[in-house]
Structure formats: C-alpha cells, structure tokens
Amino acid sequence: MKLLGTLLVVFYLLSMLMIELQRMGLLGSGFSFVPVNHFKSIELAFTLLLFFEVVELVLSLEKSVSQSMHIQLEILSLILLRSAFKVVGDFPEVITMNAIKEDVVFMFADAFGALLIFFGVLVIKRFEKSLSICRTEDGLQSFVAIKKMLALLLLVVFLTMIILDVVYFFMGIHVFDFFHSFYTILIFSDVLVVFISLRYSDSYLVLFRNSGFALGTVIIRLALNANAPFNALLGLVATLFVMGLVYFYNKAYSDEMKDVKLPRKFTNKSR
C-alpha cells in the first residue's frame, strides 16, 4: 500500500509538471495528447487509482464472491468521484460561477451519489459473515481452486485491455471505455460463478444470492453508461439491492448451515 501511495504521488506530480510544460509551449508536437488544464491531473491520478482497485477486485474473487461484490461498489463510488473531478477538469483555471453554473449540478450529483454508495458499502461490510456454501473440505478446496483460475483469467484479460488501451491511444485510434468494457466482462464472470456454485451447493439461497450479485453487476454497468444524475441513482439502486441481498441471505443461511462445521482457515474462502 505504501508503494501504491508513492506511485500515485509521483504520477500526480509528474502529470502536473507535464501540463505546465505544455501550457508554456515547451513540449513538442509529439506530446499533443498532454492537456493544458491542471485540473486534468486529478482525473488522471484517480484513473490510475481505479486500475489498482480493479486488480484488487479480481484478486478478491478467489476469497469471497460477496467481497468482490462490495469492491465493485467501492470502484463505482470512486468512478463517480472521478466523474465529479472530470467536470472540474472542464472548468477554466480561474473558476467563476458564471462559467460553471450549468455543470456544477452534475458535479454535485456525482459527488453525493458516491457518498451514498460509500455509506452503503460500510453497511454491507457490517452485514457480511463468513458462511460456507460447501459441506465438505474437499468440495471447498475444489471451489476455491476454480475461483483462483477464474481470477487468473480475469487478470490476464485486465492486463490485455490495459495494453490495448495504451497502444490505441498512442496510435490515435479511438480508445474504448476501459471500465465500461471490464464491467461487461464481470457480468459474464458473475453468471459463470452462479453455475459453478451449483456444483457445490443446490441451496436456493446460494443460487438466489449469487444470481442477485450478477444482477447487481448489471445495474452497476448501466450506471456506468448513464449520465448524471441517473448514474448516481442507478448506483444507489445497486447498493441498496446488494445491501438487502447480503443482509437477508446471511440471516437465513446462517440458520441453514448452522450444523455444518468447517475449520476456520477455510471459512473466508468459501463464500
């Protein structure tokens, strides 16, 4: 985490320096992609932070399906904050209300939407429990192994998308929206987890919970594609949906599985 913080600080300061050099006309034509507004450096730094959050999301899949779901919501809240800063990036260097009065409403919508999702994630974390869907240790180890392979595959896809994004950018080709595309892939990944989990549990509760998480990812994907304030509204809907799902699932499933005892070292990897 210390290394990540250092990297973000260096990137942030370097981007501000590049922008200042571009404003002074000291960069050549090969650096035409460098913006001239210092506020853009905030958006760029947040984008880099989001890339690291996506890596954490992918790695969390092997530990817990529910944990990966609330990390998706965390990423959505950060994307909304980035969108708010993106609006700021379009402001003139000397901010006046006349210049920003039409855009400031959208900035506040993204900001307060992110705040509400942040609160929702904190509540979801309080509801979470370490509940196993597997009734045997062998089944549990097999389930974890499959999720590890799926996480590795998603990590390869993630890195490939980053490389393509960078290559397209420097070739002047239209760059796809990275987070929109990756969340679309997560939808298919979540549905796959639904079917995989049926190998280890035929419980209606597990089926409904995992299917609900897949639907939650769909709502998040819709939020990413919507404009303010509907993106924040859809994000809040997704948060409330996941919150209710986690709460009622844990309440019901803890009673269903109360007679199943697994070693503690496996419980955090079994959800």
**pTM, 2 dp:** 0.81
Question: Which two structure tokens, joined as six digits, stand for 83?
Answer: 């969108």
8-12, 92-96, 138-142: range with lowest mean pLDDT: 92-96
Angle at which helix 40-60 crosses helix 2-23, to 10 degrees, equals 150
231 within some domain: yes
pLDDT at 123: 93
Q: Answer yes or no: is pLDDT of 20 > 80.
A: yes
Residue 262 to residue 14: CA distance in whole angstroms: 50
266 within some domain: no
Q: Are 106 and 87 in contact (CB under 8 A)?
A: yes
57 within some domain: yes
What domain range includes position 170?
Answer: 37-92+100-260
9 within some domain: no
98-102, 156-160, 249-253: range with lowest mean pLDDT: 98-102
pLDDT at 106: 82
Task: List, for residues 131-166, the tens digit of each pLDDT value.
Answer: 667 777 777 788 888 988 999 999 999 888 888 887
Residue type, 199: R
205 within some domain: yes
26 within some domain: no
Residue 200 to residue 155: CA distance in whole angstroms: 24
Q: Answer yes or no: is pLDDT of 235 > 80.
A: yes
Q: Answer yes or no: is pLDDT of 102 > 90.
A: no
Q: What is the mean pLDDT of residues 50-75?
A: 87
Q: Are 27 and 15 in contact (CB under 8 A)?
A: no
Query: What is residue 26's three-state secondary structure?
Result: coil
Res. 63 pLDDT band, cuts 50 70 90: confident
228 within some domain: yes
Q: What angle do CA 214, 146, 71 make, to 5 degrees?
A: 40
75 within some domain: yes
Domain count, the chain: 1
